[in-house]
Protein backbone atom coordinates (compact mmCIF):
# COMPACT_ATOMS: atom_id res chain seq x y z
CA UNK A 1 0.00 0.00 0.00
CA UNK A 2 1.55 3.22 -1.12
CA UNK A 3 0.60 6.14 1.04
CA UNK A 4 0.99 9.51 -0.66
CA UNK A 5 4.42 10.92 0.03
CA UNK A 6 4.13 13.47 2.81
CA UNK A 7 5.03 16.81 1.38
CA UNK A 8 7.12 18.69 3.88
CA UNK A 9 8.15 21.42 1.49
CA UNK A 10 4.57 22.32 0.56
CA UNK A 11 3.49 25.92 1.07
CA UNK A 12 -0.20 25.14 1.35
CA UNK A 13 -1.09 21.85 3.03
CA UNK A 14 -4.69 20.73 3.03
CA UNK A 15 -5.12 17.56 5.05
CA UNK A 16 -8.31 15.54 5.55
CA UNK A 17 -10.39 18.63 4.94
CA UNK A 18 -14.05 17.94 5.65
CA UNK A 19 -16.91 20.38 5.18
CA UNK A 20 -20.42 19.47 6.30
CA UNK A 21 -23.47 21.68 6.32
CA UNK A 22 -26.17 20.67 8.81
CA UNK A 23 -29.69 20.39 7.36
CA UNK A 24 -31.50 19.21 10.48
CA UNK A 25 -30.50 17.48 13.70
CA UNK A 26 -29.72 14.24 11.89
CA UNK A 27 -29.13 15.04 8.21
CA UNK A 28 -26.19 16.95 6.80
CA UNK A 29 -24.72 17.74 3.42
CA UNK A 30 -21.36 16.06 2.96
CA UNK A 31 -19.88 18.80 0.79
CA UNK A 32 -16.22 17.84 1.13
CA UNK A 33 -14.97 14.62 2.71
CA UNK A 34 -11.35 14.12 3.75
CA UNK A 35 -9.81 16.13 0.95
CA UNK A 36 -6.03 16.19 0.97
CA UNK A 37 -3.76 18.20 -1.33
CA UNK A 38 -0.40 19.92 -1.05
CA UNK A 39 0.71 22.91 -3.07
CA UNK A 40 4.32 24.05 -3.40
CA UNK A 41 5.31 27.68 -3.31
CA UNK A 42 4.80 29.29 -6.70
CA UNK A 43 2.68 26.43 -7.96
CA UNK A 44 -0.90 26.50 -9.25
CA UNK A 45 -3.21 23.70 -8.24
CA UNK A 46 -6.32 23.42 -10.41
CA UNK A 47 -9.46 22.02 -8.82
CA UNK A 48 -12.07 20.70 -11.26
CA UNK A 49 -15.37 18.93 -11.09
CA UNK A 50 -19.03 19.42 -11.88
CA UNK A 51 -21.61 21.31 -9.82
CA UNK A 52 -21.94 19.88 -6.35
CA UNK A 53 -18.55 18.19 -6.33
CA UNK A 54 -17.38 20.36 -3.43
CA UNK A 55 -14.71 22.38 -5.22
CA UNK A 56 -16.07 25.75 -4.06
CA UNK A 57 -16.70 24.46 -0.55
CA UNK A 58 -13.10 23.25 -0.41
CA UNK A 59 -11.81 26.63 -1.61
CA UNK A 60 -13.87 28.49 0.93
CA UNK A 61 -12.74 26.17 3.70
CA UNK A 62 -9.14 27.00 2.77
CA UNK A 63 -10.10 30.69 3.09
CA UNK A 64 -11.75 29.90 6.47
CA UNK A 65 -15.02 31.25 5.00
CA UNK A 66 -16.58 29.39 6.75
CA UNK A 67 -14.18 27.33 8.80
CA UNK A 68 -14.07 23.62 7.80
CA UNK A 69 -15.86 21.04 9.95
CA UNK A 70 -12.60 19.18 10.48
CA UNK A 71 -9.18 18.75 8.97
CA UNK A 72 -6.20 20.98 8.71
CA UNK A 73 -5.18 23.86 6.47
CA UNK A 74 -1.60 25.04 6.87
CA UNK A 75 -0.17 27.99 5.00
CA UNK A 76 3.58 28.43 5.18
CA UNK A 77 3.60 26.23 8.29
CA UNK A 78 0.86 28.16 10.07
CA UNK A 79 -2.32 26.27 10.98
CA UNK A 80 -5.27 28.43 9.86
CA UNK A 81 -8.18 26.41 11.26
CA UNK A 82 -7.36 27.23 14.87
CA UNK A 83 -6.69 30.95 14.39
CA UNK A 84 -9.23 33.31 15.91
CA UNK A 85 -10.11 36.99 15.77
CA UNK A 86 -7.26 39.41 15.20
CA UNK A 87 -4.74 36.64 14.55
CA UNK A 88 -6.89 35.27 11.71
CA UNK A 89 -7.47 38.74 10.31
CA UNK A 90 -3.76 39.35 10.30
CA UNK A 91 -3.07 36.01 8.63
CA UNK A 92 -5.64 36.81 5.92
CA UNK A 93 -3.21 39.28 4.38
CA UNK A 94 -1.37 36.25 3.08
CA UNK A 95 -4.34 34.62 1.34
CA UNK A 96 -6.88 36.39 -0.79
CA UNK A 97 -9.67 35.33 -3.11
CA UNK A 98 -11.34 36.37 -6.35
CA UNK A 99 -14.86 35.33 -7.16
CA UNK A 100 -16.92 34.31 -10.16
CA UNK A 101 -19.21 37.27 -10.65
CA UNK A 102 -16.98 40.30 -11.14
CA UNK A 103 -19.78 42.83 -10.99
CA UNK A 104 -21.54 41.42 -7.93
CA UNK A 105 -18.29 41.22 -6.01
CA UNK A 106 -17.67 44.98 -6.25
CA UNK A 107 -19.76 47.39 -4.17
CA UNK A 108 -21.73 49.44 -6.73
CA UNK A 109 -21.82 52.52 -4.49
CA UNK A 110 -18.08 52.84 -3.97
CA UNK A 111 -15.50 54.31 -6.28
CA UNK A 112 -12.84 52.05 -7.75
CA UNK A 113 -10.27 53.80 -5.54
CA UNK A 114 -12.19 52.93 -2.37
CA UNK A 115 -12.89 49.36 -3.53
CA UNK A 116 -9.26 48.57 -4.27
CA UNK A 117 -8.02 50.40 -1.14
CA UNK A 118 -10.42 48.54 1.18
CA UNK A 119 -7.92 45.81 2.20
CA UNK A 120 -5.36 48.50 3.15
CA UNK A 121 -8.05 50.36 5.07
CA UNK A 122 -9.03 47.22 6.99
CA UNK A 123 -5.41 46.30 7.70
CA UNK A 124 -4.70 49.91 8.74
CA UNK A 125 -1.79 50.32 6.35
CA UNK A 126 -0.60 53.70 5.08
CA UNK A 127 -1.97 57.22 4.94
CA UNK A 128 -4.70 58.17 2.49
CA UNK A 129 -2.09 59.43 -0.01
CA UNK A 130 0.02 56.29 0.30
CA UNK A 131 -3.08 54.15 -0.18
CA UNK A 132 -4.07 56.08 -3.30
CA UNK A 133 -0.59 55.69 -4.73
CA UNK A 134 -0.70 51.94 -4.05
CA UNK A 135 -4.15 51.68 -5.69
CA UNK A 136 -2.78 53.44 -8.78
CA UNK A 137 0.14 51.03 -8.90
CA UNK A 138 -2.16 47.99 -8.61
CA UNK A 139 -4.59 49.24 -11.27
CA UNK A 140 -1.67 49.81 -13.58
CA UNK A 141 -0.45 46.30 -12.91
CA UNK A 142 -3.78 44.76 -13.99
CA UNK A 143 -4.04 46.91 -17.09
CA UNK A 144 -6.55 49.53 -15.96
CA UNK A 145 -5.66 53.19 -16.48
CA UNK A 146 -5.67 54.60 -12.93
CA UNK A 147 -6.22 58.22 -13.96
CA UNK A 148 -9.43 57.33 -15.73
CA UNK A 149 -10.68 54.66 -13.35
CA UNK A 150 -10.06 55.83 -9.77
CA UNK A 151 -13.11 58.00 -9.27
CA UNK A 152 -15.53 55.94 -11.35
CA UNK A 153 -17.90 53.24 -10.11
CA UNK A 154 -18.22 49.54 -11.10
CA UNK A 155 -21.24 49.97 -13.41
CA UNK A 156 -19.09 52.03 -15.77
CA UNK A 157 -16.85 49.04 -16.45
CA UNK A 158 -17.29 45.83 -18.44
CA UNK A 159 -17.22 42.39 -16.83
CA UNK A 160 -13.61 41.84 -17.86
CA UNK A 161 -12.52 45.18 -16.43
CA UNK A 162 -14.40 44.52 -13.18
CA UNK A 163 -12.55 41.21 -12.88
CA UNK A 164 -9.24 43.06 -13.33
CA UNK A 165 -10.30 45.44 -10.56
CA UNK A 166 -11.13 42.45 -8.31
CA UNK A 167 -7.66 41.09 -9.00
CA UNK A 168 -6.09 44.43 -8.09
CA UNK A 169 -8.01 44.44 -4.81
CA UNK A 170 -7.02 40.84 -4.03
CA UNK A 171 -3.34 41.56 -4.68
CA UNK A 172 -2.97 44.92 -2.94
CA UNK A 173 -1.80 43.37 0.34
CA UNK A 174 0.81 41.31 -1.55
CA UNK A 175 -0.72 37.96 -0.61
CA UNK A 176 1.23 34.80 -1.25
CA UNK A 177 -1.77 32.58 -1.97
CA UNK A 178 -4.50 33.59 -4.40
CA UNK A 179 -7.67 31.50 -4.50
CA UNK A 180 -9.63 31.94 -7.74
CA UNK A 181 -13.16 30.52 -7.63
CA UNK A 182 -14.49 30.31 -11.21
CA UNK A 183 -12.72 33.60 -11.80
CA UNK A 184 -13.15 33.62 -15.58
CA UNK A 185 -16.35 31.61 -15.97
CA UNK A 186 -18.63 34.61 -16.41
CA UNK A 187 -16.48 36.19 -19.11
CA UNK A 188 -16.70 35.93 -22.89
CA UNK A 189 -14.00 33.84 -24.49
CA UNK A 190 -11.97 36.75 -25.89
CA UNK A 191 -12.04 38.57 -22.54
CA UNK A 192 -11.46 35.32 -20.66
CA UNK A 193 -8.21 34.90 -22.58
CA UNK A 194 -7.11 38.41 -21.53
CA UNK A 195 -7.77 37.70 -17.85
CA UNK A 196 -6.12 34.26 -17.96
CA UNK A 197 -3.02 35.76 -19.55
CA UNK A 198 -3.03 38.45 -16.86
CA UNK A 199 -3.23 35.88 -14.06
CA UNK A 200 -0.35 33.92 -15.59
CA UNK A 201 1.74 37.07 -15.91
CA UNK A 202 1.05 38.16 -12.32
CA UNK A 203 1.79 34.71 -11.00
CA UNK A 204 5.21 34.85 -12.62
CA UNK A 205 6.01 38.41 -11.59
CA UNK A 206 4.78 38.17 -8.01
CA UNK A 207 5.64 34.52 -7.35
CA UNK A 208 2.05 33.74 -6.37
CA UNK A 209 0.83 30.34 -5.29
CA UNK A 210 -2.65 29.71 -6.68
CA UNK A 211 -5.62 27.51 -6.05
CA UNK A 212 -7.64 27.74 -9.24
CA UNK A 213 -11.19 26.37 -9.15
CA UNK A 214 -13.19 25.90 -12.34
CA UNK A 215 -15.65 23.59 -14.03
CA UNK A 216 -13.88 24.25 -17.34
CA UNK A 217 -11.19 21.64 -17.91
CA UNK A 218 -9.50 23.52 -20.72
CA UNK A 219 -9.20 26.69 -18.64
CA UNK A 220 -7.80 24.72 -15.72
CA UNK A 221 -5.20 23.05 -17.91
CA UNK A 222 -4.01 26.43 -19.11
CA UNK A 223 -3.12 27.82 -15.70
CA UNK A 224 -2.34 24.75 -13.60
CA UNK A 225 0.85 22.91 -12.79
CA UNK A 226 -1.09 20.14 -11.10
CA UNK A 227 -4.79 19.29 -11.25
CA UNK A 228 -7.14 17.67 -8.72
CA UNK A 229 -10.44 16.18 -9.89
CA UNK A 230 -13.32 15.98 -7.41
CA UNK A 231 -16.60 14.09 -7.49
CA UNK A 232 -19.33 14.39 -4.88
CA UNK A 233 -17.05 15.78 -2.19
CA UNK A 234 -14.15 13.38 -2.71
CA UNK A 235 -10.84 13.64 -4.45
CA UNK A 236 -10.73 11.24 -7.41
CA UNK A 237 -7.38 11.90 -8.95
CA UNK A 238 -4.47 14.31 -8.62
CA UNK A 239 -1.53 14.59 -10.97
CA UNK A 240 0.49 17.09 -12.93
CA UNK A 241 -1.56 18.82 -15.61
CA UNK A 242 0.07 17.11 -18.57
CA UNK A 243 -0.38 13.60 -17.15
CA UNK A 244 -3.95 13.91 -15.96
CA UNK A 245 -5.12 15.13 -19.38
CA UNK A 246 -3.06 12.63 -21.36
CA UNK A 247 -3.41 9.54 -19.20
CA UNK A 248 -6.32 9.86 -16.80
CA UNK A 249 -6.68 6.70 -14.76
CA UNK A 250 -9.84 7.40 -12.76
CA UNK A 251 -12.93 6.47 -14.81
CA UNK A 252 -14.58 9.74 -13.80
CA UNK A 253 -11.66 11.85 -14.99
CA UNK A 254 -11.81 10.08 -18.32
CA UNK A 255 -15.55 10.62 -18.65
CA UNK A 256 -15.21 14.26 -17.77
CA UNK A 257 -12.46 14.80 -20.32
CA UNK A 258 -14.30 12.97 -23.06
CA UNK A 259 -17.36 15.17 -22.55
CA UNK A 260 -15.49 18.40 -23.26
CA UNK A 261 -16.70 19.68 -26.63
CA UNK A 262 -13.59 20.34 -28.67
CA UNK A 263 -13.51 23.22 -31.12
CA UNK A 264 -12.46 20.90 -33.92
CA UNK A 265 -14.96 19.23 -36.28
CA UNK A 266 -12.62 16.29 -36.82
CA UNK A 267 -11.91 15.62 -33.15
CA UNK A 268 -12.33 11.98 -32.28
CA UNK A 269 -15.01 11.47 -29.72
CA UNK A 270 -14.08 8.39 -27.74
CA UNK A 271 -16.82 8.69 -25.21
CA UNK A 272 -16.80 6.65 -22.05
CA UNK A 273 -20.48 6.07 -21.55
CA UNK A 274 -21.72 6.85 -18.09
CA UNK A 275 -24.34 4.68 -16.58
CA UNK A 276 -27.36 6.87 -17.10
CA UNK A 277 -28.58 8.37 -13.91
CA UNK A 278 -28.29 11.41 -11.80
CA UNK A 279 -25.66 12.69 -9.42
CA UNK A 280 -26.42 11.05 -6.05
CA UNK A 281 -27.40 13.30 -3.17
CA UNK A 282 -24.53 14.59 -1.02
CA UNK A 283 -26.85 14.16 1.96
CA UNK A 284 -26.75 10.38 1.51
CA UNK A 285 -23.68 9.68 -0.57
CA UNK A 286 -23.25 6.10 -1.84
CA UNK A 287 -21.24 3.70 0.32
CA UNK A 288 -17.76 2.76 -0.77
CA UNK A 289 -16.69 4.70 -3.85
CA UNK A 290 -19.01 7.63 -4.41
CA UNK A 291 -18.75 7.34 -8.18
CA UNK A 292 -19.75 3.66 -8.29
CA UNK A 293 -23.43 4.30 -9.12
CA UNK A 294 -22.45 5.77 -12.49
CA UNK A 295 -19.17 3.98 -13.11
CA UNK A 296 -19.14 1.37 -15.90
CA UNK A 297 -16.34 -0.55 -14.15
CA UNK A 298 -17.89 -0.79 -10.67
CA UNK A 299 -17.77 -4.10 -8.79
CA UNK A 300 -18.95 -5.35 -5.40
CA UNK A 301 -15.73 -4.15 -3.85
CA UNK A 302 -16.58 -0.57 -4.86
CA UNK A 303 -19.78 -0.81 -2.81
CA UNK A 304 -18.14 -2.27 0.28
CA UNK A 305 -14.86 -0.48 0.54
CA UNK A 306 -13.98 3.20 0.28
CA UNK A 307 -11.06 3.36 -2.16
CA UNK A 308 -7.95 4.68 -0.46
CA UNK A 309 -5.88 7.35 -2.13
CA UNK A 310 -2.80 5.65 -3.50
CA UNK A 311 0.17 6.81 -5.46
CA UNK A 312 0.44 5.00 -8.80
CA UNK A 313 3.38 7.01 -10.09
CA UNK A 314 5.47 9.74 -8.48
CA UNK A 315 3.09 12.65 -7.86
CA UNK A 316 0.10 10.87 -9.40
CA UNK A 317 -2.51 9.77 -6.88
CA UNK A 318 -5.88 8.17 -7.47
CA UNK A 319 -8.77 6.91 -5.34
CA UNK A 320 -10.11 3.96 -7.33
CA UNK A 321 -10.17 0.18 -6.95
CA UNK A 322 -10.01 -0.32 -10.71
CA UNK A 323 -7.90 2.45 -12.22
CA UNK A 324 -7.81 2.40 -16.01
CA UNK A 325 -4.10 1.74 -16.22
CA UNK A 326 -4.38 -1.88 -15.12
CA UNK A 327 -5.66 -3.34 -18.40
CA UNK A 328 -3.09 -1.45 -20.46
CA UNK A 329 -0.21 -2.38 -18.15
CA UNK A 330 -1.09 -6.07 -18.22
Partner 1 sequence: MGEIILDVRNQRTAFATGRGMLQAVDGVSFTLERGKTLGVVGESGSGKSVLSRSIMRLLPGTSMTGPGSQILLNGKDLTAMTENQLRRMRGPEMAIVFQDPMTALNPTLSIGKQIMEVLMFHLKMSKRDARAKAVDLLKAVGLPQPDVRVDQYPHQLSGGMRQRVAIAIAIACEPDLLIADEPTTALDVTVQAEILDLLQRMVRERNMAMILITHDMGVVAGRCDDVAVMYAGKIVEKAPVRSLFSETRMPYTAALLSSIPRVTDPPHRKLDAIEGRPPDLINPPPGCPFAPRCRHAEDACNRAVPELTGTADHQWACIKPLNTEAAA
Chain residues binding partner 1 by CB under 8 A are: 50-51, 158, 160, 188-194, 196-197, 200, 215-219, 221-225, 241-242, 245, 255-257, 259-267, 269, 271, 274, 276-279
282 vs 275: CA distance, rounded Å = 18
From the CB of 99, what's the least distance to partner 1, in Å?
19
CB nearer partner 1, residue 99 or residue 245 = 245
From the CB of 324, what's the least distance to partner 1, in Å?
17
From the CB of 318, what's the least distance to partner 1, in Å?
19
From the CB of 32, what's the least distance to partner 1, in Å?
18
* 71 to 14, 56, 199, 289: CA distances (angstroms): 8, 16, 29, 20
Phi, psi of 283 (to 5 degrees): -80, -40
CB nearer partner 1, residue 133 or residue 218 = 218
Phi-psi region of 54 (alpha: psi -120 to 50; beta: other; left: phi over 0): left
In a 10 Å sphere around its CB, with 0-12 CB exposed, 13-18 middle and 19+ buried, how is residue 26 labelled?
exposed
From the CB of 175, what's the least distance to partner 1, in Å?
21
CB nearer partner 1, residue 37 or residue 256 = 256
- For residue 186, the tally of other CB atoms under 10 A from its CB is 18
From the CB of 256, what's the least distance to partner 1, in Å?
7
Is the distance from CB of 233 to CB of 285 less than 8 angstroms? Answer: yes
Of 201, 196, 202, 204, the closest CA to residue 221 belongs to: 196
CB nearer partner 1, residue 144 or residue 257 = 257
Helices (H), 127-181: 128-141, 146-149, 159-171
CB nearer partner 1, residue 6 or residue 277 = 277
CB nearer partner 1, residue 114 or residue 216 = 216
Is the distance from CB of 122 to CB of 172 less than 8 angstroms? Answer: no
Is the distance from CB of 160 to CB of 198 less than 8 angstroms? Answer: no
CB nearer partner 1, residue 129 or residue 264 = 264
Of 209, 205, 202, 206, the closest CA to residue 224 belongs to: 209
From the CB of 147, what's the least distance to partner 1, in Å?
19
Buried b (16+ CB within 10 A) or exposed e, 212-230: bbbbebebbbbbbbbbbbb
From the CB of 6, what's the least distance to partner 1, in Å?
25
CB nearer partner 1, residue 69 or residue 166 = 166
Amino acid sequence: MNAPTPNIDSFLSIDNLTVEYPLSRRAKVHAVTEFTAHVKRGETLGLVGESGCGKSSAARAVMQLPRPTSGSVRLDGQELTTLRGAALQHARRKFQMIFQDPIASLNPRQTIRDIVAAPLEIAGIGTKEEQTAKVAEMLDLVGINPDQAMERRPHEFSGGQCQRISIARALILSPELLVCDEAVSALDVSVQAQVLNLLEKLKGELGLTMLFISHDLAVVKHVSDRVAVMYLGKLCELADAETIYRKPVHPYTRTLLAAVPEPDPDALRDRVELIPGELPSPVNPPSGCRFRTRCPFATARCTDEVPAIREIAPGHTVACHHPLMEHSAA
